[in-house]
Amino acid sequence: MQKIHPCLWFDGNAEEAAKFYASIFKNSKIATTSRYEDPNNRSGQPVGSPMVVMFELDGHTFMGLNGGPQFKFSEAVSFVVNCESQEEVDYYWEKLSAGGQPHRCGWLKDKFGLSWQIVPTALAKLMSGPDPLKRSRVMQALLKMDKLDIAALQRAYNGDDM
């Protein structure tokens, strides 16, 4: 088990979320599920319902906690999915945004309200090139996109969209 892993606070749907995420990412699984046994638990969750769901996404450990309605996800925390190809960007964008909400610059909120960034690895190369004008063109193109388009970012870098 990882020494450090995120704990995601849900309001009764941690198991559903874990299954959803595990269906999207390769090498993923639900590891364990513990259930509420005390009818007087502070979360208000019913006895027998999932309390903690430990799951792995592509070999990384996560914990889903059904803690109740007190806390919601915000954009202050997001998960970045680095993608090697446009096909990979398209896949994760389609799967994770289903029932959720797309946002600018490769960000989205999934149907549980969790924020994700679907980012092509090529973006780092384009944004760290030596020419500030090229970097600026890439940034201007990026700011107009929801799902990131590698070919369009490359065209912006090269000045082909001018």
What gap in Å lies between CA 47 and CA 50, rounded to an integer?
Answer: 9
Note the pLDDT of residue 150: 98
CATH superfamily name and code, 78-158 = 2,3-Dihydroxybiphenyl 1,2-Dioxygenase, domain 1 (3.10.180.10)
- CB proximity list for 139: less than 8 A, separation 6 or greater: 127
Count of CB atoms situated within 10 Å of the CB of 132: 8
Note the pLDDT of residue 49: 93
**Could you tell me what percent of the chain has a pLDDT over 90?**
90
Note the pLDDT of residue 162: 53
What are the pLDDT digits (tens) for 140-159?
999 999 999 999 999 999 99
Q: Domain spans of the chain?
A: 7-66, 78-158
* C-alpha 72, offset from chain centre: 15
Decide yes or no: CATH 3.30.720.100 for domain 7-66.
Answer: yes
Look-up: residue for tokens 């959720």? Answer: 100
* Beta partners for residue 81, in sequence order: 118
Task: Determine the average pLDDT of the residues in 98-114.
Answer: 97
**Predicted TM-score (pTM) of this structure:** 0.92
What are the pLDDT digits (tens) for 64-92?
999 989 999 999 999 999 999 999 999 99
